[in-house]
Structure 1
């Protein structure tokens, strides 16, 4: 990748760091060139507030998009192809911001709360464009059950749904287990209610019908807002009386109904053993306000419900089925919750808190070296606001600039690193496959521990290769008085959205 005037300008090393000096790198030069050409107005971070709401992508997003495009064109790419792919991908990701109608939907929503978009979310516009909907996809009917009505001459309820990112709406045949939530005048499923759906099937428009529709799904979660009086009264009156410690075997035998309100602590898969065969299982650990924990198990087709949950959210369970948990050898006396035939689920989503992060001298110097208005950039790009995860770590996946080794500190997650491999070895004392890789850039070196789940390897990656890794989290290790930072990444077959590593030799 070269310009008409020669190679792209190199990234200047961090002065006075004492670390190995980063030589001229054509790849980094093209990244800087692409950002300056496509997104020149990247020095207004202080005015924008949160990085994820900015009009320009983060440095790591641009790098990942370039590498993905190179993989998509194995025979070779030109700078023009890369620049157009980056620009189109960013426009596609942010296109809902240009819709006046969607901006009107967003305004009241931002006043209420902020929450992260679910990983498997599809938009209603994309359903119409592709004429396809995967059963595992999530539909976030976000602030818009537009209308609920009975089909003329039938007793079938329909919901008209919209979402934050689409200009179209779509009708859903409501599953009969939710009819009682719309039949009364004070029903919960009414205009303005937010819901999450999964397990949906698409009914394509037939001759004379003219409209796509969603077939009924029993996997529906109703969102509540504790700041709204109506929702707060529902939670207080129905779900705050029972606790996990109040479950007794006698109550279970007498088919007593329980109503729980608890925080989602973890979500994980369970391997099937013995008579369970290949049946899929998901285990969700819930903790109530008394500190008691219980397992909420999903079986078979129910596991897709877990796509609608996120760690840190508050889950309200209306009449869950109570059973004895199965262990590896058979039954046990431990009680667990299951998604029964009459169970209703309500969710208060995790509110993503934010924290201001000041740009380091490293960031200021490198950002200034690639900008024609160095002084102006340094005066304005003084800090950004980044979200916190439920554990209180700062999520750097939307960080606008490149992260360097010297910038790392404890409680960082979503880190992307670019550097050369100076050491690589497998930790033999660990039962799982754990590779320790030392990555060095212009400001220093760091040890990244890559935890592989299953039979994974690093293939041809060796000392001297240049790598780019994203999805790392940073932990502090204190042997004696020496403080070092260990980067952790757990890699499984389901974590493709978190892990990309490319050899750039």
Structure 2
């Protein structure tokens, strides 16, 4: 089956790139199982999510900047997908599955690694998270050292853990750590076999293990009621002799935040809310901050014997409010929030675009539907949605949404330089997206007409019932890729179709790849300017210094000289007047700005004349929807921007 066989399902705005994505999904789906599993449900859906597939293709394009083939992309995709869909039929996995509580589902933590991957790589990062179930508890022969044999629901193998002594009481006296108990742990180091082939890898003791409880199990419910329902935060605050009391608290995790370092020590705070709606901060210091990776907002935290201290926001403040800390005697239990799901119906646009490949999705009498998880606020998580989402599909209470489209405008909206608005258009409509950065703009050059992929979008309705779409750089799963500027796009024939220049007006909403010759260029069409390194836009010289014309930040040291170039390109069908800047202009001129400026004026003209009729492969975008203030300078620019160029040998 060739990629051309699925062209009917590709969207006009994505061209051959989206055709290949559809083709890759169909190949993986047809070779990865019988398709009987519901997409989006469980740890191993039969069909890869559309956004995941796009992100993996783009990851390969970045890794192989000189170009990729269909075979390379399919190999990388199949390997990545296979790792997520390892067989669940092994004996160990069947045993683990039978031990796990199947009455509720919980979301897998972001930095979780599998036991199989630990054995394959013979490596375990201290920052990684293990979500495991206890298969066995035993004493190492000839010692008094307790060992736990751990398994997980994604692996066929197990691994032994040297248990830290702070957890020994929970084996004998309390009998909490036993076969079938779920735990999450981090801060782990691997003890590998001394001689290859001799012995096996084990995990060294870690202080950062959290025992999971289930309120629906009688023994866990009794433990919570007996040990964690006596004290509230308010009763502790009112108690003058609080340091003489051993407290235990049960509260909901409201926020997990990174604090300003105290000196050179990292800090994180977990904001806890008890049943009386009283709040207190649980502060983690230094290596303890990795413990926060085991928690998720909305889960219930049971804290036994926390250390009570006073909290200071920074180095310059005196400690005032009370807070809790992870002391040497502190034990932590977690009741994870259950993952709720919702049936999502495919829209007519998605049904038409997918065509016959919907056979892998359960179909009822009205429409096809998939099962997706919901977050704490009732928003449906589309990060594992098996099909492409369009602008017309967006509505309130959606998170993890991916969009593919063309930029129609972009502008800065905050004086701090951390917030921008980006307008994206696809075949069904236009949406205005709010981009929130942790610092300055970090997406490189993004211009009108550029073809982009963005994931991690959040959709909500404001008080006037108007849709608001936002994207935060720091959120897990957030990704932004400007496909128009990808070097691999020019050299990967499986991801583009060659267009004639005469075809450009008939499909102006995407980036075209064309083979052209340089028809005309002269000294009057070339200008030397300073460009901002962060965003690639022209730097203005103001009385008080240099300022970027786009993101409006001062950039005395963060700019580079470059060309602004107007030129005429041609092929056998048409001539087009276009413009380009920066590295693309250097590719056309085959000379750097400082070298060009060193030439005498007559030699500059002669040099430009020698470039005529040189052949190039170019990526060209339509900037006709450019708005005032968005141009590189005050002068009118041609409609077509050449965003990438490569000289043909």
TM-score (norm 2): 0.69
Residue 147 (structure 2) aligned to one of 154, 158, 164: 158
Partner of 1:448: 433
Given that 1:446 and 1:485 are in contact with CA atoms closer than 8 Å, whether structure 2 keeps it comes out as no
Report the CA distance shift for 1:24/1:190 in structure 2 as closer, same or farther (over 3 A): closer
Residue 457 (structure 1) aligned to one of 434, 442, 449: 442
Within the alignment, does 1:206 sit opposite 2:194 as a pair?
A: yes
Alignment of 1:72-471 (within 5 A): 72-97=63-88, 99=90, 101-107=92-98, 109=100, 111-142=102-133, 145-184=134-173, 186-207=174-195, 210-248=199-237, 250-272=239-261, 276-328=262-314, 329-368=316-355, 371=357, 382-429=368-415, 431-471=416-456
**Once the 2 structures are TM-superposed, how far is the Cα of residue 432 of structure 1 from its aligned partner?**
5.0
Superposed CA deviations along residues 289-317 of structure 1, whole A, max 9, x for unmatched, are 11111111000010000010011111000
Report the CA distance shift for 1:402/1:4 in structure 2 as closer, same or farther (over 3 A): closer
- Aligned with 2:85: secondary structure? helix
Instruction: Name the CA distance, whole Å, in 2 between partners of 1:317 and 1:296.
Output: 10
- Aligned with 2:138: secondary structure? strand
Within the alignment, does 1:501 sit opposite 2:481 as a pair?
A: yes
**Once the 2 structures are TM-superposed, how far is the Cα of residue 451 of structure 1 from its aligned partner?**
0.4
- Aligned with 2:265: secondary structure? coil
Superposed CA deviations along residues 384-435 of structure 1, whole A, max 9, x for unmatched, are 1111111211101111111011111111000000000000001134x35111
Report the CA distance shift for 1:88/1:265 in structure 2 as closer, same or farther (over 3 A): same
- Aligned with 2:81: secondary structure? helix
**Once the 2 structures are TM-superposed, how far is the Cα of residue 88 of structure 1 from its aligned partner?**
1.8
**Once the 2 structures are TM-superposed, how far is the Cα of residue 457 of structure 1 from its aligned partner?**
3.1
Partner of 1:35: 25
Superposed CA deviations along residues 166-198 of structure 1, whole A, max 9, x for unmatched, are 2222221111111111123x5111111111111
Partner of 1:18: none
Instruction: Give unpaired runs (5+ residues) of structure 1.
Output: 14-21
Given that 1:148 and 1:158 are in contact with CA atoms closer than 8 Å, whether structure 2 keeps it comes out as yes
- Aligned with 1:398: secondary structure? coil
Partner of 1:59: 50
Structure possessing the higher radius of gyration over alpha carbons = 2
Instruction: Name the CA distance, whole Å, in 2 between partners of 1:422 and 1:380.
Output: 36
Instruction: Name the CA distance, whole Å, in 1 between partners of 2:290 and 2:57.
Output: 32
Instruction: Give unpaired runs (5+ residues) of structure 2.
Output: 485-510, 512-649
Instruction: Name the CA distance, whole Å, in 2 between partners of 1:123 and 1:375.
Output: 28
Superposed CA deviations along residues 333-381 of structure 1, whole A, max 9, x for unmatched, are 311111011000000111001111121222222222x649899979686
**Once the 2 structures are TM-superposed, how far is the Cα of residue 9 of structure 1 from its aligned partner?**
1.9
Report the CA distance shift for 1:25/1:8 in structure 2 as closer, same or farther (over 3 A): farther
Given that 2:407 and 2:447 are in contact with CA atoms closer than 8 Å, whether structure 1 keeps it comes out as yes
TM-score (norm 1): 0.88
Given that 2:451 and 2:483 are in contact with CA atoms closer than 8 Å, whether structure 1 keeps it comes out as yes
Instruction: Name the CA distance, whole Å, in 2 between partners of 1:406 and 1:488.
Output: 16
**Once the 2 structures are TM-superposed, how far is the Cα of residue 250 of structure 1 from its aligned partner?**
4.4
Given that 2:211 and 2:332 are in contact with CA atoms closer than 8 Å, whether structure 1 keeps it comes out as yes
Report the CA distance shift for 1:110/1:34 in structure 2 as closer, same or farther (over 3 A): farther
Report the CA distance shift for 1:105/1:425 in structure 2 as closer, same or farther (over 3 A): same
- Aligned with 1:179: secondary structure? helix
Instruction: Name the CA distance, whole Å, in 2 between partners of 1:166 and 1:375.
Output: 26
Instruction: Name the CA distance, whole Å, in 1 between partners of 2:476 and 2:156.
Output: 30
Instruction: Name the CA distance, whole Å, in 1 between partners of 2:103 and 2:363.
Output: 33
Mean alpha-carbon deviation: is it higher for 46-55 or for 447-456? 46-55
Partner of 2:593: none
Report the count of equivalent residues.
Answer: 482
Superposed CA deviations along residues 29-61 of structure 1, whole A, max 9, x for unmatched, are 111222223324999989737545521111111
Instruction: Name the CA distance, whole Å, in 2 between partners of 1:31 and 1:209.
Output: 45
RMSD of the TM alignment (CA)? 2.8
**Once the 2 structures are TM-superposed, how far is the Cα of residue 486 of structure 1 from its aligned partner?**
2.0
Report the CA distance shift for 1:74/1:255 in structure 2 as closer, same or farther (over 3 A): same
